[in-house]
Amino acid sequence: MSAMIEVPAARIRPAAGGVAGLLRSAGIAGLVSAAAIAVATVLAVIGPLVAPYNPDLPSLGLAWVGPSGGHLLGFDFEGRDVLSRLLAGAQSSMIGPLAVVIGALALGTALAVLAAWRQGPLDSVISACLDILFAFPGILLAVLAAAVFGAGLTAAAIALSIAYMPYVARVLRGAALKERSQPYVAALEVQGASGTSICLRHIVPNMMPLIVAQATIMFGWAMVDLAAVSFLGLGVQPPAPNWGVMISENQPGILQGYPLPALAAGICIVVVVIAFNILGERLFARAQAARR
């Protein structure tokens, strides 16, 4: 998890140079990360279509066979093509974290802006509630949800959104407070703009760099947590292709001398998470710089 970086009070300056500026300041690491993320995203959409072989049909006689003609990563414990399963698995492996991020951001931003705008007792109540929500670590809530609603991606994703929401809200509340105290807000209020419109049209967009940065880093956490939940058998259920599931399914092979299927899935997770971490930190740095 990344540190909650306090955003210092600052004047607003629009992000220098837009996308071009982003690319320029991203550096090689940032570009490669963005590329990796792009590839993963594309695969999440078309993965099952581009898989060269059937990712679901077992063929026991081919179990654990290594890379050979056309099967670049060999076969898994049930004789299914590993590469095809990785490509097909990108979908559930990426959509889960996406849902978590969207959920946590939507809720967190709404609460943060509300608390910052109204301030006073409402702010205290919301802050207190958020502090209480911190009592639930993400995985614990996901396990509880699985016990109550049955194992599956939906329950786990909702649980993780709820668990991540306080972190988002805490960071964004600070930023929203600072935005609120900017002179342009007072000017808009004097002009008769409603609270909602000021929030939606000015405060939230000005916090966008921070929100995007937070979302990016959070995607990495969500990916790790959801893969863990699937590894425990409480998330995506086998035999559905999913990177976390593939690690637990092919775990026995590692001790038998066939580490490739499990490792390949693990590498996919690690690569995507590193990419999101690197990109997220770049975006955080930019968000900070933009406020100085």
Does the protein bind another protein through residue 120 (CB under 8 A)?
no
String of DSSP letters for 224-248 = HHHHHHHHTTSSSPTTS--HHHHHH
Name which of 188 and 249 has its Cβ closer to another protein: 249
Does the protein bind another protein through residue 1 (CB under 8 A)?
yes
- Interface region with another protein, contact rule CB under 8 A, candidates 17-25, 40-48, 99-107, 147-155: 147-155
Does the protein bind another protein through residue 64 (CB under 8 A)?
yes
Residue 213 CA to chain centroid, in angstroms?
A: 11
- Please, are residues 226 and 96 in contact by the beta-carbon 8 Å criterion? yes
- Please, are residues 86 and 39 in contact by the beta-carbon 8 Å criterion? no
Does the protein bind another protein through residue 46 (CB under 8 A)?
no
Please report how close the Cβ of residue 285 comes to another protein at its closest, in angstroms: 9
Please report how close the Cβ of residue 187 comes to another protein at its closest, in angstroms: 26
- Please, are residues 117 and 200 in contact by the beta-carbon 8 Å criterion? no
Does the protein bind another protein through residue 256 (CB under 8 A)?
yes
Please report how close the Cβ of residue 63 comes to another protein at its closest, in angstroms: 5
Please report how close the Cβ of residue 244 comes to another protein at its closest, in angstroms: 8
Enumerate residues 6+ apart whose C-beta is below 8 A from 23. Answer: 31
- Choosing from 19, 20, 49, 60, the residue that interacts with another protein (CB under 8 A) is 60
Burial of 165 (0-12, 13-18, 19+ CB in 10 A): buried
**63, 69, 70, 75: CA torsion to nearest 10:** 10
Name which of 96 and 138 has its Cβ closer to another protein: 138
Does the protein bind another protein through residue 227 (CB under 8 A)?
yes
Does the protein bind another protein through residue 113 (CB under 8 A)?
no
Does the protein bind another protein through residue 25 (CB under 8 A)?
no
- Choosing from 118, 170, 180, 202, the residue that interacts with another protein (CB under 8 A) is 170
Name which of 127 and 182 has its Cβ closer to another protein: 127
Q: What residues are paired with 71 via a beta bridge?
A: 68
Map residue 204 onto helix, strand or coil: helix
Total residue count of the chain as it appears in this document = 292
Does the protein bind another protein through residue 239 (CB under 8 A)?
yes
Residues in 174-203 at the binding interface with another protein, rule: CB under 8 A: 174
